[in-house]
Structure 1
Amino acid sequence: MSRSFFQLATAAALCLSASTTFADQATLTITGRVLPGTCTLVAPAIALDPIKADELVQGDNKLKDGTLDFTGCVGVGKAKLSFAGAAADGDADRWKNTAATDAAAGVSVALLAGATGSTYLKNGDTGIEVVVSGATARYPLRAGYYLPAVAGVSAGAVETEIVVTADYE
């Protein structure tokens, strides 16, 4: 062997051994959290049946069934509902008639929880629980005209919008 080959081999060996002496090691830590999933919340419109002004009685009138439907639920055990909108003038338990044109006077809207019972759902209600089973859930409710007093009623349109928010757990 030639001397230059030996020197070159020695230099290469030193370089290789030098690179391994400068090796470093680190631990990569990855963290995360799986949060509750979601559902698709659908609130179909509730079209109240027409009623004549002289047929209205004080209290709830022509209650009509409706539902809040939850579909496509993944990783959800329950939903907590909250309700927001305009409360009726002088009546925090009912909803204001906000019809933009030709509004009926003296009439508000009642929204009740469940298919039966007398629990009103009102502006500011929170924490109303709906159990989710599998990928779906339903929350029954009823809506109707509400007449606080027989005097002061006039014919016209009745409308209100209520924002329903669902927080999932």
Structure 2
Amino acid sequence: MHLLNRITLCIALLAVAPLALADRATLTITGRVLPGTCTLNAAPIDLDPVKASDLTPGADSQIKAGALEFTGCVGVSKAVLSFAGTAADGDAERWKNTAATDAADGVSISLLSGTTGNTYLKDGDTGIDVPVTGATARYDLRAAYYAPTGTALTAGEVSTEIVVTADYE
């Protein structure tokens, strides 16, 4: 075959061969870095039933332990707590009995910090530090019935709701 024939044959074969196509895409990745956080768990504190005659006027009665549990903490060295709810009538240190039905009269609820002592947690308290170690933390507290001195008591339900806010640092 002559050189010219060979060149013509090569050109013809290249023309028939499919061309390889290229494609391009851009991969976009997004995210957001959040400040450190934990999961706050506030288990209910169920006070044991008590007879009105067994409540000591002017004192916390039937104290029961509870705790705020922090789990899954990431990037946090402490939680800073604040408390909000309805203060007892005429007593800013205690919480109002807000039972929706058949509420007991003359009884409020005390919430105390820690496992001992008499530091009351009340509506509007802020800046309570809870150190976080690793991925967990715990804030012990106690709840109790409170019957003010000179108040007539009637039997019924006792409950309150307290909103606990945790800011993480």
Structure 1 residue 36: deviation in Å?
3.4
Residue type of the alignment partner of 1:127: G
**Is contact 1:106–1:149 with CA below 8 Å preserved after alignment?**
no
Match of 2:74 in 1: 74
In structure 1, runs of 5+ residues without a counterpart are: 1-32
Match of 2:134 in 1: 134
In structure 2, runs of 5+ residues without a counterpart are: 1-31
Count of residues in Structure 1 that have an aligned counterpart in Structure 2: 137
Q: Do structure 1's residue 42 and structure 2's residue 41 form an aligned pair?
A: yes
Structure 1 residue 34: deviation in Å?
6.1
Structure 1 residue 74: deviation in Å?
0.1
**Is contact 1:111–1:141 with CA below 8 Å preserved after alignment?**
yes
TM-score where L is the length of structure 1: 0.79
Distance 1:39 1:69 in 2: 10
Distance 2:44 2:111 in 1: 13
Match of 1:148 in 2: 148
Corresponding residue SS for 1:72: strand
Match of 1:93 in 2: 93
Residue type of the alignment partner of 1:91: D
Match of 1:118 in 2: 118
Structure 1 residue 151: deviation in Å?
3.3
Structure 1 residue 150: deviation in Å?
4.5
Q: 1:50 to 1:150 in 2, by over 3 A?
A: farther
Residue type of the alignment partner of 2:40: L
Distance 1:127 1:142 in 2: 19
Corresponding residue SS for 2:53: helix
Match of 2:108 in 1: 108
Distance 2:146 2:84 in 1: 18
Q: CA RMSD, aligned part only? A: 1.2
**Is contact 1:64–1:143 with CA below 8 Å preserved after alignment?**
yes
Corresponding residue SS for 2:44: coil
Distance 2:126 2:99 in 1: 25
Identity fraction in percent: 70
Corresponding residue SS for 1:73: strand
Distance 2:116 2:61 in 1: 14
Distance 1:101 1:56 in 2: 21
Q: Do structure 1's residue 158 and structure 2's residue 158 form an aligned pair?
A: yes
Distance 2:112 2:35 in 1: 28
